[in-house]
Amino acid sequence: MPEGPEIHRAADQIAEAIEGEVMRDVSFGMSHLKSWESELAGATVTEVEARGKAILTRFDVGVAVYSHNQLYGKWYFRRAGHYPKTGRSLRMELRGETRSALLYSASEIEVLRPEEEPHHQYLGKLGPDAVDAEVTEEQVLEQLEDRRFRGRNLGGLLLDQSFVSGLGNYLRSEILWWAGLHPSWRPKDLDEDERRDLARWVLDVTRQSYETGGVTDCLQRVEDAKERGVPFRHYRHAAFARAGRPCPECGTPIEKIEVGSRRLYLCVPCQPPR
């Protein structure tokens, strides 16, 4: 599933393609949305906003199209009237004068009025968005100290979108590795400096991933690896998907475990258990 950085980058691409454009055609591949096609055709896209792992495409007729990629959704961008060669199912087409934004295989698409957004089952529960440049370290620290979250293991907490939105499986492994924390630790087990350090890594790792297209390891190490011809998959992350490869800090082989029925990668010497 795409995580916050990937969804924010997709929102940037949608905005580049059709923001400010009058829609020449809007079509949905879901029968319950067909009645909206005639109302949105001829409307102007006024804003494209990422919220956690969802995107809101706003129109000047007072509604927004909510989309969540889930596991299989993927955006494509093409000249208006042109389509990619893919076996995926087209779920939404937003066609402007010269370009189209095409969403394939997504299972969650809705049309929302402004008053419906705060009560939406996903949007209404989101915590601070880690990619959002206006979200501060203090806000994340407040979440870590909130009684709803302070007693929960970090391995599960970092996937909870009501804690901090946009985090997912690869970001969880990377944040914990950079913070030097095992997933069994809880916010209440950490002192204030450790919680503040974790809050900083939550933002720094996520925002670096957004800015670099998914790279979460030290950028100097990344440059060195590129010069040596190391494959992208081996230098993209510090820990995630690197089972058996040496930890960038101590050289111990990275281990793969399961936490919350999802894979997690860590270095035990660098991230000792609680």
Report the domain count for the chain.
2
Return the CATH number at 211: 1.10.8.50
- Both 90 and 155 in one domain: the answer is no
- Both 52 and 114 in one domain: the answer is yes
- Both 155 and 251 in one domain: the answer is yes
Catalytic option among 2, 5, 128, 248: 2
In a domain, 274, yes or no: no
| Domain final residue, candidates 98, 125, 152 | 125
In a domain, 273, yes or no: no
Catalytic option among 79, 221, 245, 262: 262
Catalytic option among 9, 51, 53, 195: 53
Q: What pLDDT score was predicted for residue 274?
A: 84
- Both 148 and 193 in one domain: the answer is yes
In a domain, 227, yes or no: yes
108 catalytic per annotation: no
| Domain final residue, candidates 93, 125, 157 | 125
- Both 53 and 141 in one domain: the answer is no
Q: How many CA atoms lie within 13 A of 9 on its CB side?
A: 16
Residue range(s) defining the domain that contains residue 190: 137-266
Q: What pLDDT score was predicted for residue 188?
A: 98
CB burial readout 150-180, b (16+ within 10 A) else e: beebbbebbbbbebbbbbbbbbbbbbbbbbb
Q: What pLDDT score was predicted for residue 229?
A: 94
Return the CATH number at 77: 3.20.190.10
Q: What pLDDT score was predicted for residue 62?
A: 97
Q: What pLDDT score was predicted for residue 4?
A: 97
Long-range contacts at 141-144 (CB < 8 A, ≥ 24 apart): 141/195, 141/196, 141/199, 144/187, 144/190, 144/195, 144/198, 144/199
pLDDT tens digit at each of 274 positions of the chain: 789 999 999 999 999 999 999 999 999 999 999 999 999 999 999 999 999 999 999 999 999 999 999 989 999 999 999 999 999 999 999 999 999 999 999 989 999 999 999 999 999 999 999 999 999 999 999 999 999 999 999 999 999 999 999 999 999 999 999 999 999 999 999 999 999 999 999 999 999 999 999 999 999 999 999 999 999 999 999 999 999 999 999 999 999 999 989 999 999 999 999 8
- Both 237 and 261 in one domain: the answer is yes
Q: How far is CA 220 from the centre of its chain?
A: 24
Pair 45, 19: CB distance under 8 Å: yes
Q: What pLDDT score was predicted for residue 202?
A: 98
| Domain final residue, candidates 100, 125, 150 | 125
74 catalytic per annotation: no
In a domain, 226, yes or no: yes
- Both 85 and 110 in one domain: the answer is yes
- Both 114 and 11 in one domain: the answer is yes
Sign of CA dihedral 161, 166, 167, 168: positive
- Both 146 and 259 in one domain: the answer is yes
128 catalytic per annotation: no
273 catalytic per annotation: no
What angle in degrees, to the nearest 10, is found between the helix axes of 169-179 and 192-212? Answer: 130
- Both 142 and 229 in one domain: the answer is yes
In a domain, 248, yes or no: yes
Q: What pLDDT score was predicted for residue 162?
A: 98
- Both 199 and 120 in one domain: the answer is no
- Both 10 and 105 in one domain: the answer is yes
